[in-house]
Amino acid sequence: MKQVRLGSRGLTAGAQGLGCMGMSEFYGDTDESAARATLDAALERGVTMFDTADMYGRGDNERFLAPFVQAHREQVAIATKFGSVRGEDGSMSVSNDPRYIRQAVDGSLSRLGLEVIDLYYMHRRDPTVPLADSIGVMAELVTQGKVRYLGLSEVTGDELREANAIHPIAAVQSEWSLFTRDIERTLVPAATELGVGVVPYSPLGRGFLTGSMPARLQGNDVRTVFPRFTGENARRNAELLTPLARIADARGASMAQIALAWLHRQAVVQNLTVVPIPGTRTPTRLAENLAALEITLTDDELTRLDPIAEQVAGDRYPDMTETAGSRES
């Protein structure tokens, strides 16, 4: 797989990574043996960036990844995050407090069984904490050898510029897909200007862009509370998939492959490094997703796909107050 550079300090990764969140929770029942087979298959195919966070499974996802990362430490770049805090009652909050950051990194290192994290993201931005304070502490972690590279998630272009002036940022992670293009307003131009890599999460629209969303979601599937995937919104959004399906049929490809190929094409269109991290739990889906790297969409196909995001019904999250998209609107 082609290796690409994220940021200016030397972090490289395969052109497509693997999101590991769903291997522990959020999208229905999990199968540990299938998930471990997927990790092995990903490494064999040249995937080097494996993405997790301390809040996925309340640390269980980091523990799950630990033996795999340790066994292949020289080949794997592990990315994890702090900032999204889950209460015992299921509540969610955001913390960028310097004391919390120092505790969080030690917790992640312990669960992963590592001495250093390759890419450490601020999962969500707390506007009540000066960015200089939180980035300052993150920079200390690099100096201390606990973290190699810094990243941000769900920030605006201005926030990226401010953070990068304090310490170089290697990558920004935000939701970006044919269904969600908010970051193209300010974040993508800033990333291009600064030479910061973009790591799109949910590049398949949380599965919606595959055209294979189940008619009825399981009760333990987080999408049951996301406005885009339920009720009338889900019906209306399904109608938007027609051009995607037609292009996929014409190319003998899957809809997922076309959706990922669209993101890879943005690296050229937007003149920046793009490393999508589609999440999957089976080797079969992994192979399907990686085949997108062999597809180059034409300008005509891009034009036909462009209107989709403008017509999507429903917000990304039930509460958009903590996302960059709401701050950029």
**Separation CA 44–CA 312 (nearest Å):** 36
What count of other Cβ atoms lies within 10 Å of the Cβ of residue 311?
Answer: 11
Question: Which of 27, 56, 121, 149 is the catalytic position?
Answer: 56
Active site residue 100: no
Helix/strand number for the chain, H first, E second: 12, 11
Contact 28, 220 (CB under 8 A): yes
Q: How far apart, in whole angstroms, are the C-alpha atoms of residue 132 and residue 53? A: 22
Burial call 145-169: b when 16+ CB within 10 Å, e when fewer: ebbbbbbbbbbbbebbbebbebbbb
Would you say 112 and 82 are in contact if contact means Cβ atoms under 8 Å apart?
A: no
Phi and psi at residue 290, to the nearest 5° = -70, -25
Structure-block tokens of residue 203: 């590049």
Burial class (CB in 10 A: 0-12, 13-18, 19+), 246: middle
The single-letter code of the amino acid at 26 is F
Q: How far apart are CA 262 and CA 277, in angstroms?
A: 14
Q: What is the DSSP letter of 73?
A: T
**φ and ψ at 201, to 5 degrees?**
-95, 165
**What are the catalytic residues?**
56
